[in-house]
Amino acid sequence: MVLMNNLNLNDKTKKSVSIQGYEGSFHQMAAKKYFGEDVTVIPCATFRDVIKIAEDKKQSNGGVMAIENSIAGSILPNYTLLQNNSKLKITGEIYLPIAQHLMVNPGVKLEDVNEVHSHHMAIQQCMDYLGQKHWKLVETEDTALSAKHVQLRKSKHIAAVASKLAAEMFGLEIVAENIHTQKNNYTRFLILERISEAEPVLHANKASINFITDHTKGSLAKVLTLIAEEDINLSKLQSMPIAGTNFKYSFHADLEFKELYQFNNVLKDINKCTEHIKVFGVYRNGQEG
């Protein structure tokens, strides 16, 4: 279910963006980090809903969508959503450290806990810690929603694994911090805006494209060579099956460069040895600073 808001979208000082998950989720944290504390989020049940709401100028100014995690890897269906979309473009990105915390209602102590609720991915990320306990582990659809349910049920024996933001929003106390096993855990989020309204990004130094090579031998190698010859860093190359074909693939590529002309040059060059190219967006590298 998509939750709507009544924000005046004519107010240029505020942003309203669609996110996957509920308030208190890591998507909301990413939105706040990029747009500031005043951003209004529109929680969506699915990434498809995120795209749908981001496309609608009557409902939002755009969207924030996770695309890959440093441990779990790429979220492949989201590349397909980008490929099939013609109204949105990538205008930015955020790399958010994922920190999982164990939280309970005020006054509940760690020894009172006998059950832990969270999204299955969060539970797996914290299994080294959770596996030491004799707790019942309950998988839910969302980390933030788990925290909300703990608060609403006023439970004295159930804890949730979620973000610090979720604990703050729902008045829960963190009884164990940073319980995730892999401490170097980041999720990359894309900032999506409507093509009709997005302005060129100043000092852009990264681009995301999708291309389909022709049928000639070594065509992919030619594309990669042209990218390297322009002194562009290929930071990601992801193959994607093309629906309706027999084992034919398109390629998603993230390109990092110092000057925009480098990207423009390589775009012209690889156009000669590809069947199709789509530019998802030209923006600033979110890992800088």
Tell me: do 80 and 111 sit in the same domain: no
Tell whether 66 and 22 lie within a shared domain. Answer: yes
Q: Mean pLDDT of residues grouped by 10 in the chain (289 residues)?
A: 45 82 94 96 96 96 95 91 94 97 97 96 94 95 95 96 97 97 94 96 97 87 96 95 84 97 96 93 87
Q: What is the DSSP letter of 113?
A: -
Do 73 and 189 belong to one domain?
yes
pLDDT at 288: 66
Q: Do 190 and 240 belong together in one domain? A: no
Q: What are phi and psi of 7, to 5 degrees?
A: -65, 140
Within a domain: 8: no
> How would you class 69 by CB atoms within 10 Å of its CB: exposed for 0-12, middle for 13-18, buried for 19 or more?
middle
- With a CB cutoff of 8 Å and minimum separation 6, the contacts of 258 are 205, 231
**What integer pLDDT is reported at residue 236 of this predicted model?**
96
Query: Among residues 64, 87, 52, 51, which one has the least CA distance to residue 16?
Result: 64
- Flag whether 41 is in a domain: yes
Two tokens at 87? 């109204």
CA separation for the pair 127, 124 (Å, rounded) = 5
Domains: count for the chain:
3
Helix (H) or strand (E) holding 209: strand 206-213
Tokens of 83: 């490929």
Per the domain annotation, does 4 fall within a domain? no
pLDDT of residue 4: 42
Q: Are residues 172 and 53 in the same domain?
A: no
Domain residues for the domain of 112 are 101-176
Question: pTM, whole model, 2 decimals?
Answer: 0.89
Same domain as 80, residue 115: no
Q: What is the C-alpha to C-alpha distance for residues 95 and 81, in angstroms, rounded to an integer?
A: 20
3-state secondary structure of 27: helix
CB 256 within 8 A of CB 236: no
SS3 of 204, please?
coil
The tokens describing 72, both together, are 């779990």
Same domain, yes or no, for 63 and 189?
yes
Tell whether 125 and 255 lie within a shared domain. no
- Please give the pLDDT value at position 13: 59
Q: Is residue 132 part of a domain?
A: yes
Asked whether the beta carbons of 181 and 127 are under 8 A apart, the reply is yes
Residues 24 and 90 placed together within one structural domain of the fold: yes
- The answer to whether residue 288 sits within a structural domain is no
